[in-house]
Amino acid sequence: MTVDTIAADAKPLAVKSSKGGGLGRYLLWRALLIIPTVFILVTMVFLLMRTIGDPITASVGDRLPPDELQRRISEAGYDRPILVQYFEYLGQVLTGNFGTTISDNRAVTEVLLTFGSATLELVFYTLIVAFIVGIPLGMLAAYYRDRGPDAGLRVFAIFTYATPVFFSGLLLKLIFGIWLGWLPVSGRASIATELQIQMLPNPSGFYLIDAIRLGSLEAVGDVLSHAILPALTLGLMTAGVFLRLVRTNMIGTLGREYIDSGRSRGVGEFRLVTKHAYRPALIPIITVIGLQIALLLGGAVLTESTFEWKGLGFQLAYYLSARDFIAVQGIVALLAVIVALSNFVVDVLAALIDPRVRY
């Protein structure tokens, strides 16, 4: 199939577009789907959290007589019918009130802002690692298809993708933190830097930005050095997916006639690979990024706990152990919104790049 035939294939779709409402209707439909997605997730979390006990029992279940324990549970309203609690919660959420955490008495919105920025920063570093490692290596594997470098890279991809993040995280900590002593093993910055950041007026919570605001190269270096191991842990997992995806798609596009045509016209191999073959292969990657956001956030729970990266995943693990309904519901709702929105953005991008997606 040539470029011309692809364009020819697209013509009937364009006709259908004028009848069916096109991009606007598609986007509206995708946006509306966010609401039931989030609603279903929040409802499931609400119900599941109530099957694992209440926070008061979790905290003082082994030091109070049953009647006193029950009195406290009743005072907190945890023994009311679940539907009453559910509708009360929904009412609060609809008015933007996510409540106050039970276990540490913090506004959930404050928790989301404070820890959400840390998670966002980790995801940012992770995607950088995933792109820098996954895409060039995928291109290389495709170019050397079925030869030594390809085989090696495929094994590398499977290894990075299949290794659980808590294991790869511990391994990296052990090697680069404990044995070699090159990199910090935990936290988002050293204590000295964190104290400086805390003194900033209105810190953003995004440590790299805050370190730059401090005007200290040492602080920036400190923040980045703390990010290396967690970013590698989570980023390599994602890079493995990207590598395999880029390779597969690149092999498809490298076999196209227009590539041979370009080669016969004297276009350089590097340019053929990085421009002519690579760009069409990007479309499925954009779609996969949307799915990867959900996986990244799931991986962040383990990565953040392993590296003391105090983000949403880290806090979620703590609140789950404390049976803090309110906090868990708030965090999961935010994660659901992030995943739904990122998928929406991916759908929009995919629709813009490839009109066939709109149908």
Partner 1 sequence: MKLSRTGYGALALATTSALLLAGCASGGSSNGGTTTSGAITVGTTEVVTSLDPAGAYDNGSFAVMTNVYPFLLNNPVGSSDVEPDIAVSAEFTTPTEYTVVLKDGLTFANGNELTSSDVKFTFDRQLAIADENGPSSLLANLDSIDVVDDTTVVFNLKEGNDQTFPQVLSSPVGPIVDEDVFPADELATTADIVAGKPFAGPYTLESFDQGNLAAYAANDVYQGLWGAPANDAVNVKYFANESNLSQAIETKAVDVAFRSLSATDIEKFESTDGLNVITGPGGEIRYIVFNFAIQPYGSATAEADEAKALAVRQAAADLIDREKISEQVFKGTYTPLYSYVPEGLTGATESLLGLYGDGNGGADAERAAERLAAAGVETPVVLNLQYAGERYGAASSEEYAQIKAQLETDGLFTVNLQSTEWGQFTKDRVEDMYPAHQLGWFPDYSDADNYLTPFFLEGGFLFNHYNNEEVNTLLREQLVTPDAAERTAKIEQIQDLVAADLSTLPMLQGAQVAVAVDGVDGVTLDPSFKFRFGTLTK
Residues 250-278 as b or e (16 or more Cβ within 10 Å = b): bbebbebebbeebeeeeeeeeebbeebbb
The smaller minimum CB distance to partner 1, of residues 181 and 215, is found at 181
Quick check: 289 and 131 in contact, CB under 8 A? no
The smaller minimum CB distance to partner 1, of residues 32 and 195, is found at 195
Stretch that binds partner 1, among 96-104, 243-251, 282-290, 336-344 (CB under 8 A): 96-104
Residue 337 to residue 256: CA distance in whole angstroms: 39
Quick check: 174 and 212 in contact, CB under 8 A? no
Stretch that binds partner 1, among 22-30, 36-44, 219-227, 293-301 (CB under 8 A): 219-227
Binding flag, residue 182, partner 1 (CB under 8 A): yes
In the range 188-217, which residues lie near partner 1 by CB under 8 A?
190-195, 198-199, 217
Instruction: Label each residue of 267-307 as H, E or C.
Output: CCHHHHHHHHHHHHHHHHHHHHHHHHHHHHHHHHHHHHHHC
Quick check: 126 and 311 in contact, CB under 8 A? no
Residue 14, token pair as written in the block: 């364009």
Amino acid at 325: F
Residue 196 to residue 198: CA distance in whole angstroms: 5
Binding residue for partner 1 (CB under 8 A) from 134, 184, 230, 311?
184
Helix 148-162, helix 217-254: angle, nearest 10: 120
**How many residues bind partner 1, per CB under 8 A?**
70
Q: Measure CA of the first residue to CA of the last residue in the chain; give whole Å.
A: 22
Binding residue for partner 1 (CB under 8 A) from 156, 258, 318, 344?
318
Binding residue for partner 1 (CB under 8 A) from 268, 279, 352, 359?
268
Residue 271, token pair as written in the block: 């340019």
Closest CA to 170 of 297, 307, 309, 301: 307
Binding residue for partner 1 (CB under 8 A) from 315, 329, 342, 343?
315
The upper half-sphere exposure of residue 56, i.e. CA atoms within 13 Å in the direction of its Cβ, equals 16
In the range 227-266, which residues lie near partner 1 by CB under 8 A?
228
Q: How far is the CB of 227 from partner 1 (least distance, A)?
A: 8
The smaller minimum CB distance to partner 1, of residues 26 and 46, is found at 46
Which residue's structure tokens are 């006990």? 53
Binding mask 42-81 for partner 1 (x = CB under 8 A): ----------xxx-xxxxxxxxxxx-xx--x--xx-----
Q: How far is the CB of 273 from partner 1 (least distance, A)?
A: 8
The smaller minimum CB distance to partner 1, of residues 153 and 339, is found at 153
Of all residues in the chain, what percent are helix, strand and coil, respectively (each to 5)? 80, 0, 20
The smaller minimum CB distance to partner 1, of residues 95 and 198, is found at 198
Binding mask 124-163 for partner 1 (x = CB under 8 A): ----x---x---x---------------------------
List residues near partner 1 by CB under 8 A. 52-54, 56-66, 68-69, 72, 75-76, 102-106, 128, 132, 136, 173, 177-178, 181-187, 190-195, 198-199, 217-218, 220-222, 224-226, 228, 268-271, 273-275, 305-306, 308, 310, 314-315, 317-318, 323
